[in-house]
């Protein structure tokens, strides 16, 4: 006799599934880079977003009734949010992965909740609590430990710091996107906002690709089929599907519980990077990773919300 799963169990499974799929992103990107010298962040981003665009356009069409009472100012903010969150942030991230490991990239990106809290503190003129300050020190201290350990093992230090800077800038850009989303979701509705913002990001990415690439169609034709498959996987398995799973998880167990489960993301990425990319982390780096996760989770699960 089968025992039906409760709503909490289903929501938790959705959260685990989304965390796993998001964790594969850096693995797919690094493997695609290794397949052809023609592949860079701009090319791979274009393949990803071209694959995901039809789904998000469908989402926009299905939820178009929510757009009737939206002001032009809200549309402008939505376009800005879409470009910041899933175009500019993603492009910086993809570019940074050309120079640093998948493990370090995931750890740096995981800092975005701390950046959101720090920005909110300035915006709403609310001082950070001692608990929050300690959490920030833990997360950044852990990240620096991992970073310095990796830097000592790479040959091209200049490119390493370029990669670190690009990925950290990606985290800042995504944090800015998160600051814009609450009011926009209230205006457009959750699913409608997701469809619109991601469609804007997809179109922005494709415009970037066609402007930055001298012969874009010829370049795509020269890519190995395996790279095209990675682009499709990045669009569907790493963008569309986890977006759906996250939304369904939050609907069942709430944002805080979903965020707690999502904290396994960096660990999953490190495990996958070890298995598929041959990356390794020493005991000191694992310690730094643990500090990063603990600090970020203290902030993410804190009941005190700045700006409320």
Domain borders along the chain are 7-300
pLDDT score for 182: 87
Task: Kindly list the distances between the CA atom of residue 163 and the CA atoms of 29, 100, 278, in Å, as whole numbers in the listed order.
Answer: 14, 6, 19
The pLDDT of 40-46, averaged and rounded, is 96
pLDDT score for 3: 53
Q: In the chain, what percentage of residues exceed pLDDT 70?
A: 95
The pLDDT of 61-81, averaged and rounded, is 90
Q: pLDDT per residue over 9-18, tens digit each?
A: 888 999 999 9
**Of 148, 122, 183, nearest in space to 287 by CA:** 148
Confidence check: pLDDT of 204 > 90: yes
**Per-residue confidence band for 109, with pLDDT thresholds at 50, 70 and 90:** very high
65-84: b or e for each residue (b if 16 or more CB lie within 10 Å)? ebeeeeeeebbebbbbbbbb
- pTM for the model stands at 0.91
pLDDT score for 173: 96
Q: Are 270 and 72 in contact (CB under 8 A)?
A: no
Confidence check: pLDDT of 70 > 90: no
Q: pLDDT per residue over 267-296, tens digit each?
A: 999 999 999 999 988 899 999 999 999 999
Q: What phi and psi values does residue 39 have, to the nearest 5 degrees?
A: -90, 125
* DSSP per-residue codes, 172-236: HHHHHHHHHHHHHHHHH-HHHHHHHHHHHHHHHHHHHHHHH-SSHHHHHHHS-HHHHHHHHHHHI
pLDDT score for 292: 94
pLDDT score for 308: 37
Cα pseudo-dihedral 173, 270, 7, 111, rounded to 10? -30
Please report, in angstroms and rounded to a whole number, the separation of the first and last CA atoms in the chain: 47
The pLDDT of 34-51, averaged and rounded, is 96
Cα–Cα distance, 138 to 296 (Å, whole number): 8
**Per-residue confidence band for 154, with pLDDT thresholds at 50, 70 and 90:** low
pLDDT score for 59: 93
Mean pLDDT of all residues belonging to the chain? 90
The pLDDT of 27-52, averaged and rounded, is 96
The pLDDT of 168-197, averaged and rounded, is 92
């Amino acid at each position: 006799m089968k025992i039906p799963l409760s709503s909490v169990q289903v929501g938790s499974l959705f959260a685990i599934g989304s965390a796993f799929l998001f964790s594969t992103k850096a693995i797919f990107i690094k493997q695609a880079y290794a397949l052809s010298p023609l592949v860079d962040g701009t090319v791979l981003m274009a393949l990803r977003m071209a694959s995901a665009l039809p789904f998000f356009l469908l989402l926009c069409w299905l939820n178009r009734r929510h757009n009737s009472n939206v002001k032009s100012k809200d549309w402008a903010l939505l376009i800005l949010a879409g470009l910041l969150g899933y175009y500019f942030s993603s492009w910086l991230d993809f570019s940074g992965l050309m120079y640093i490991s998948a493990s370090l990239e995931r750890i740096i990106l995981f800092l975005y909740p701390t950046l959101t809290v720090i920005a909110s503190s300035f915006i709403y003129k609310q001082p950070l609590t001692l608990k929050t300050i300690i959490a920030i020190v833990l997360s950044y201290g852990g990240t620096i430990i991992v970073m310095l350990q990796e830097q000592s093992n790479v040959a091209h230090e200049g490119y390493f710091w370029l990669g670190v800077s690009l990925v950290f800038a990606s985290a800042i850009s995504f944090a800015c996107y998160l600051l814009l989303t609450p009011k926009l979701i209230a205006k457009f509705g959750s699913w409608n906002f997701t469809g619109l913002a991601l469609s804007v990001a997809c179109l922005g990415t494709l415009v970037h690709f066609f402007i930055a690439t001298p012969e874009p169609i010829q370049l795509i034709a020269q890519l190995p089929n395996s790279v095209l498959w990675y682009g499709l996987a990045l669009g569907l398995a790493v963008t569309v599907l986890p977006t759906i799973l996250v939304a369904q998880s939050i609907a069942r167990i709430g944002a805080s519980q979903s965020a707690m489960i999502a904290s396994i993301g960096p660990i999953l990425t490190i495990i996958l990077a070890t298995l598929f990319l041959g990356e390794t982390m020493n005991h000191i780096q694992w310690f730094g990773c643990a500090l990063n996760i603990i600090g970020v989770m203290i902030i993410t699960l804190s009941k005190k919300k700045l700006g409320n």
